[in-house]
Amino acid sequence: MAAKQRNNVSNKDKGKAPVKAPVVDAKSGALPSLGYLALIAADPLQIKVHLNVYFDVQNSSYDVAGPGHTIVAYQSEVFDEPLTTEVTCGDYKPVVSGCTPTKCGRFLKDNVFNATVIQTMINIIEKGMVFGGGAGGPSILDLASGAVSHGEQFISIFQAAKQNKQEIFNQKDRETFLHVKNTLKDTIEDHFGTKNLYLTAPTFFSRITDKPAKTANDIYWMPHIDRRTYGSFVYTSLVYLNDQGVDYEGGEFLFIERDDVTPGQQRTPTDSPDKYSQSIVQPRAGRMSFFTSGDENEHTVKMVTSGTRYAVTISFTCDEASAIPDPTFE
């Protein structure tokens, strides 16, 4: 079934001359080509490396209806009470007392954010894509660094806005984002009994369509472990902004269930997810999901085959040195 499309944002600039969207060179804040490089947290020059795992190298054939694949949260279900799962923790070093998880797991809850909040978050994404979005399926907006997809590369949305004398975001946008971020932080701290969490990079909005990949950056469905990829992550949270199976097809979130999580030992993400059982979450507008970021929660996203998938990923760390300030939206 083809997903229906929603007209989420009116295009007030329709018919106007194209907005200039300068690609910034390396000397003035450019984003380098994606490569297998060391991660440099909160550095806008390395944002493509931060997002590497979401847009990696090859197609995949795994089937969300395959043997051992269990849908734990359907889009049509409403979880007014949290759906929680406890899993064996992987390696978390160094340990930060009162913050590093002593129990690991997953948490999902619906109806945390109302329709106005969700629509404002979608509007933020679409405003951020005023310069065109990505050439392939995924487009990314990172408000901390200002990086936004533009064709086959990234530009600084804030530099472009200044050059075009254009105000993109407003106070309501910032207040709504901070409300969502603080709600996630408070809920994570309450559920895991932790404190002193800090926002960390990357924290980003994503818009994924079924457009064919144009570069290696456009392939986002390889299994990965956030803590291995980003280093600073301790808790990963997501808010889904529209409905799987209604607004788009594909795009399910998959936990790869492996039995080789050994505390104190690092694990390499699988390149053969079909070998393992999978716990599947179908995104629902307003659905909040978070989980500990270690080996115990290897995961991926299934390819979007039609429509447009909107989500925001907000990440937290226990390491004050890896903290980033709240985005200023300018």
**CATH number where 249 lies:** 2.60.120.620
42 falls within a domain: no
From residue 44, alpha-carbon distances to 158, 229, 231, 273 in Å are 12, 17, 16, 32
- The residue among 266 and 57 whose pLDDT is bigger is 266
172-228, pLDDT tens digit by residue?
Answer: 999 999 999 999 999 999 999 999 999 999 999 999 999 987 877 777 888 889 998
12 falls within a domain: no
> What's the whole-model pTM score?
0.81
115-163, pLDDT tens digit by residue?
Answer: 999 999 999 999 999 877 887 889 999 988 889 988 888 889 998 888 8
What is the domain count for the chain?
1
Give the phi and the psi of residue 97 in degrees, each rounded to 5. Answer: -55, 130
pLDDT of residue 28: 31
What three-state secondary structure class fits 46? helix
1 falls within a domain: no
**259: which residues sit within 8 A by CB, 6+ positions away?**
none
13 falls within a domain: no
18-39, pLDDT tens digit by residue?
Answer: 444 444 332 333 232 222 222 3
Note down the domain range covering 264: 55-321
* Residue 80 and residue 296 in contact, taking contact as beta carbons nearer than 8 Å: no
183 falls within a domain: yes
From residue 171, alpha-carbon distances to 177, 311, 330 in Å are 10, 21, 10
Beta bridge partners of 256: 278
41 falls within a domain: no
Question: Per mean pLDDT, which of 143-147, 248-252, 274-278 is the most reliable?
Answer: 248-252
Grade residue 164 by pLDDT with cuts at 50, 70 and 90: confident
Q: How far apart are CA 157 and CA 218, in angstroms?
A: 20
Mean pLDDT over all residues of the chain?
A: 81
pLDDT of residue 93: 87
Q: How far apart are CA 87 and CA 90, in angstroms?
A: 9
Tell me if residue 309 is catalytic.
yes
pLDDT of residue 222: 80
pLDDT of residue 266: 61
Q: What is the mean pLDDT of residues 238-247?
A: 98
Grade residue 63 by pLDDT with cuts at 50, 70 and 90: low
237 falls within a domain: yes
244 falls within a domain: yes
pLDDT of residue 67: 60
Active-site residue identified among 207, 227, 287, 309 = 309
pLDDT of residue 37: 25
Grade residue 262 by pLDDT with cuts at 50, 70 and 90: low
